[in-house]
Amino acid sequence: MEDKQFKQLDKDIKDVRKDFNHHIEVYAENGKELAGLKSEVGGMNKRIDDIKKDIKEDINEVKKLLGNNYVTVKEFLPVRLVVYGLVGILLAGIVGALVSSVISNRQAEQQTQNINKQIVSGFQQVLPQFQVEVEE
């Protein structure tokens, strides 16, 4: 082998070693990061388990506090039907009163027009020159 080729081969070997050492360093850093991530995930799993445990304890405490002092849907249904029925009757009465008011106002208006016609008709009989048209 020639000296030039030998130097090139030596340089290539050094470059490969350098790249290899760089990769080893990167893998070591990644390994450290991975170990840190594993540690963090382990801590998170512990916290999640603690939270689950706390939630279960809270649910049990609420159940103890409630005891039998709650209403099931089955028991609440008749109460709901009665209340909805009463509210429906109340609203129907209000709507009926409004409709009645509108109708009675219309009838009163028609009666007023009839009375006005009678008054004008009476004036026309007494005073024939009195000519007034009543609006309908």
- DSSP state for residue 133 in the 8-state scheme: P
Q: Which residue has the higher pLDDT, 38 or 134?
A: 38
pTM for this prediction: 0.36
pLDDT of residue 89: 94
Residue range 73-112, pLDDT digits in tens: 788 888 889 999 999 999 999 999 888 888 887 777 888 8
Strands (E), 1-136: none
Residue range 4-62, pLDDT digits in tens: 777 888 888 888 888 888 888 887 788 778 788 888 888 888 899 999 999 999 999 98
